[in-house]
Amino acid sequence: MTIANPPRGPAIDSDHELWTRAAAGDRHAFGELFERHIEAVWNHAYRLTASWSQAEDLTSGTFLVAWRRRAEVVLVRDSALPWLYSVAGNLAREQYRSTARFLRALRRLPPDHAEADHAEAVASRVDDDRRMRQVLAAVRALPPAEREAVELCLLGELPTADAAEVLGVVEASVRSRLSRARARLRTVLKDQTDE
């Protein structure tokens, strides 16, 4: 005896369906989105920071922003990932600027009031990926339009069409920005290697 329609596993909801339910307050739907994308968002955050602990903080912050703004988000090609990557990138830039301000303020303190930060020593031993930090510094120095394209496409591994939609430009513009950014990065990183 042949069964006409064999039973299938449970249907997997699309990001759009889950986001719509989450926007209406369905915490379970948001939890499914979280489970579906947490690893990709953490990996993206790590590529932006070269730090495990900062990547964890950025990932948490990204999903907190997602929950708070869930009713106003427009997904790109029915995927939450491009928007989540964009939020993680924005949070990383804010964190970088905040850290830079803090370090400038710390340098202005008289030497006898400054104490060594044990956390920095531990972090530098754990996170010794010097090359990744050089690359990230070079990316941060890019003009904003090129930096955003690099963060989304090269670090976040988004297709150029999705990045174009997130950035509100045509796909050719994203490709052009990536081409210019790659040339700048090759030059900067080669110079650093030669030193």
Number of folded domains that form the chain:
2
Answer whether 178's CB lies under 8 Å from 154's CB. yes
Question: Looking at 111, 136, 156, which one is the last position of a domain?
Answer: 111
Of 92, 14, 20, 138, give the one whose Cα is nearest residue 84.
92
The whole-number pLDDT of residue 1 equals 47
SS3 content of the chain, % helix, strand, coil (to 5): 75, 0, 25
Residue 124 has pLDDT above 80, yes or no: no
User: Is residue 28 assigned to a domain?
Assistant: yes
Residue 175 has pLDDT above 70, yes or no: yes
Residue 8 has pLDDT above 60, yes or no: no
Domain with 82, as residue range(s), is 14-111
Residue 46 sits in a domain whose CATH number is 1.10.1740.10
One domain for residues 106 and 26: yes
For 38-85, how does the pLDDT look when each residue is reduced to its tens digit (9 = 90+)?
Answer: 999 999 999 888 888 888 999 999 999 999 999 988 887 889 999 999
Residue 181 has pLDDT above 80, yes or no: yes
